[in-house]
Amino acid sequence: MRFSIAFVSWLLPATALATSNSRVLKRANDTDYVLKKGPLDTPWTEKVGTNPWPEYPRPQLQRSDWKNLNGVWRYKNASAGDDKSPPSGVVLPEPVLVPFCLESALSGVMGSHNIWSWYQTTFDVPSSWTAGNRVILNFGAVDYEATVFINGNQTTFHRGGYWSFNVDVTDYLSANGTNELLVFVYDPTDKDNIQIPLGKQTLDPSHIFYTPCSGIWQTVWLESTPVEHVTQLDLSADMNGEVNMTVHTSSNSSTLVQITIYEPHSTDIKATARGRTNGAFQFNVESPKLWSPSSPTLYNITVKVGSDTIQSYIGFRTISHGVINGVNRPLLNGEFIFLFGTLDQGFWPDGIYTPPSREAMIFDLQTLKNVGYNMLRKHIKVETALFYQACDELGLMLIQDMPSLRPSVPVGPALGDCQVKTQPVANAESQAEFDRQLAILIEQHKSYPSIITWVIYNEGWGQAHDRTHPEFQLTDLVRSLDPTRLIDSVTGWFDFGAGDFHDNHHYPDPQCGTPWYSIQSTPYDYKRIAFQGEFGGIGHNVSEDHLWKVQKAINEINGTYEIDANLDVWNERAHFLLSELRGQIEKYDCSGAVWTQTTDVEGEVNGMLTYDRRLNRMDQVQWKRDIQALYDTAAARAANSTTVMQMADTLEGL
Ligand SMILES: *[C@@H]1O[C@H](CO)[C@@H](O)[C@H](O)[C@H]1NC(C)=O
Ligand SMILES: *[C@@H]1O[C@H](CO)[C@@H](O)[C@H](O)[C@H]1NC(C)=O
Ligand SMILES: *[C@@H]1O[C@H](CO)[C@@H](O)[C@H](O)[C@H]1NC(C)=O
Ligand SMILES: *[C@@H]1O[C@H](CO)[C@@H](O)[C@H](O)[C@H]1NC(C)=O
Ligand SMILES: *[C@@H]1O[C@H](CO)[C@@H](O)[C@H](O)[C@H]1NC(C)=O
Ligand SMILES: *[C@@H]1O[C@H](CO)[C@@H](O)[C@H](O)[C@H]1NC(C)=O
Ligand SMILES: *[C@@H]1O[C@H](CO)[C@@H](O)[C@H](O)[C@H]1NC(C)=O
Ligand SMILES: *[C@@H]1O[C@H](CO)[C@@H](O)[C@H](O)[C@H]1NC(C)=O
Ligand SMILES: *[C@@H]1O[C@H](CO)[C@@H](O)[C@H](O)[C@H]1NC(C)=O
Ligand SMILES: *[C@@H]1O[C@H](CO)[C@@H](O)[C@H](O)[C@H]1NC(C)=O
């Protein structure tokens, strides 16, 4: 809508106004945006249009006055140091569709090596917004560094590709009229072997590393807030109805907070409470319905501080671990719950890191939920707030990985003796930055009920494992920031005993809490929860229609752990592997597992769904039955006290 007028005049910033020389520039024709033809699309690609992701972007801290800035912006490939001279007032040459990263077809740029970039748009502040209020500019995520200019003035700088940030731009707005927003982005990805949190992104995609995402990749928006306003809400609510809340505000004052909790999907009030800002306070809600995957009850809440009113929600549940009949188990609301999920990478052929739409994002989640998965391992990526809200609402538990640094050891079976192989990992500077961003992950996501576990390191990527074992200190850090969840300190390979899980990766067959191990794994440590952080990964090649049409990726398809001749064989193999897992649950101490993976990604063809989401490989009746059998077996095993202690005795003897 903002761009339906082809020519919009805009005013130059303060400098120009001050000299009463308000040059009026002609705005470029924004209808030059064209959806690029990428290597593969999805059923949603064509439906995106130029008003993408219109949803309110921050469900746990909602205000009524807001304005979405997504849409067609201007873009220019830049160079190092260009941020010293922002091209203010000069219309940038190319269109880009925000919030799709520069490598994506949906962005309309589909570039590569987008190391330095300029983004530009204009906005005005709705006249209906209360005079005297502050105007806050919010970014969902920009990969990797962003320097933000309003009307030519730098307002903020942010580092870290996965985190939301905002800036109070009130003092930079033009007195009357349209404002120019420029964002300078630097994203090295893995250029010159730099070590930054980046997950599976690489400038040179191959096999299990994929097309990178550079620039703005989540919603950009404005909101109007009172001068004294809530900046962050920390919410946790447990199975006993105890709510622990911290209401951070723009000042450090201690002022009254008034809370109203509503009955689910109703205007009836369940409870009210009071507290004070900028410090934790607790209150009790009588007999709440608890949150669980089978009954994901949420309660809407209103938080009032002065003239600021926030809508949010909470879910009551407790995550812990305990010994049930001699076995260390993850507990949800005091009871053992077997965790079964997919490795969920969150890549899209049309949007790369950004799903084409909320509907598309929900489609993946619903596909998993339909066959009985109760969990997802969000793999070395962080998603939009709307993703976490969707998991809260659908009842999907999340194991949330910290986005990894670049792997510094050979990956896969070539690893060899995992205890010995050491290569340079993070240096002191990149380690400090990793640690800083890990804390942000926890701080920004600790209020979602669906998240049950944090993962610090994946398969040793970026993990120092020769002399130092940073995962012990980092486990303490995460525990101090969030004592309400479990910590899977290292998922796969370089395990020296930190955290709550003994987490093994093994392909294709599982080795979950078993009294045997092999080259890629370590002997089961029964003092922690036995978990299979990755297994399965069996593949099935498809016709070119469903493939990422990049020759290098196609050539690497046979690097997938296993390729099955056809879908019947693939389903048969899945049945076999799930039966094997079930056997390990029955006989040994397995408490959960992660099947690789939700979808194909580029040259990997081992998804429940193909990369384009057009083919669901699962024999759904069979998968549903096999997954239910895992839960049933786990429940029976947990209730059986006969063999368990013997198992511990056996392991003690190892
Ligand atoms: C804008 O560009 C489109 C496509 O190039 C063209 O069809 C349209 O006429 C242009 N509009 C104006 C107002 O110049
Ligand atoms: C940007 O410029 C760099 C250096 O000239 C080039 O390698 C890269 O391909 C360009 N990117 C785009 C998207 O044009
Ligand atoms: C913006 O930049 C101009 C020119 O450098 C300066 O005069 C003005 O004070 C700046 N405004 C703010 C709010 O920083
Ligand atoms: C700008 O000023 C003019 C003249 O005072 C006024 O008519 C107009 O409503 C103002 N626009 C905004 C966006 O404040
Ligand atoms: C409440 O949460 C804060 C951190 O947000 C924590 O320090 C405190 O220990 C918690 N209090 C209770 C009673 O759980
Ligand atoms: C709040 O307190 C912190 C630490 O005492 C201080 O650094 C910060 O400037 C204060 N902020 C405001 C708005 O007073
Ligand atoms: C919370 O409020 C929203 C907006 O009114 C509503 O759509 C949603 O159903 C409510 N959710 C619950 C759990 O009550
Ligand atoms: C997979 O299928 C594609 C096209 O359908 C083909 O080009 C490729 O060679 C196949 N690869 C393997 C390993 O079967
Ligand atoms: C995998 O495919 C490539 C390209 O098609 C081929 O050169 C290679 O021999 C294949 N490897 C195996 C193990 O089949
Ligand atoms: C408990 O475990 C023992 C030993 O594995 C087995 O013989 C027995 O059938 C199990 N009982 C139940 C109720 O599953």
Residue 31 is predicted with a pLDDT of: 78
> How many angstroms is it from 59 CA to the middle of ligand 5?
22
Q: Among 2.30.30.90, 3.30.565.10, 2.60.120.260, 1.10.238.10, what is the CATH number of 5-225?
A: 2.60.120.260
Residue 14 is predicted with a pLDDT of: 30
> How many angstroms is it from 462 CA to the middle of ligand 9?
30
The residue-averaged pLDDT of 425-436 equals 90
Residue 505's SS3 state is strand
For ligand 5, atom 4, which residue shows the shortest CA distance? 280
Residues of the chain with CATH 2.60.40.10: 230-306
The amino acid present at 63, given as its one-letter code, is R
Distance, CA of 557 to CA of 41 (rounded, Å): 19
Residue 521 is predicted with a pLDDT of: 77
The residue-averaged pLDDT of 628-644 equals 87
Atom of ligand 4 nearest to the CA of 175: 14
- Looking at per-residue pLDDT, the higher value among 419 and 138 belongs to 138
Judge if the beta carbon of residue 128 lies within 6 A of ligand 4. Answer: no
> How many angstroms is it from 213 CA to the middle of ligand 2?
14
List the Cα angle 500/199/421 in 5-degree steps.
Answer: 70
> How many angstroms is it from 219 CA to the middle of ligand 3?
27
Q: Which ligand is nearest to the CA of 643?
A: 10
Q: How far is CA 298 from the centre of its chain?
A: 21
- Looking at per-residue pLDDT, the higher value among 425 and 584 belongs to 584
pLDDT tens digits, 480-538: 999 999 999 999 988 999 999 999 999 999 999 999 988 777 889 999 999 999 999 99
Residues of the chain with CATH 3.20.20.80: 339-652
Exposure string over 180-205, b if 16+ CB within 10 A, otherwise e: bbbbbbbbbbbeeeebbbbbbbbbeb
Q: Which CATH superfamily is domain 230-306 in?
A: Immunoglobulins (2.60.40.10)
The amino acid present at 121, given as its one-letter code, is T
Residue 409 is predicted with a pLDDT of: 54
Judge if the beta carbon of residue 511 lies within 6 A of ligand 7. Answer: no
Query: Is pLDDT at 649 greater than 80 in this prediction?
Result: no
Residues of the chain with CATH 2.60.120.260: 5-225
> How many angstroms is it from 176 CA to the middle of ligand 4?
6
Peptide bond just before 99 cis, omega within 30 deg: yes
For ligand 9, atom 13, which residue shows the shortest CA distance? 558
What CATH class is the domain 339-652? alpha beta
Atom of ligand 9 nearest to the CA of 559: 1
Residue 559 is predicted with a pLDDT of: 87
Residue 26 is predicted with a pLDDT of: 41
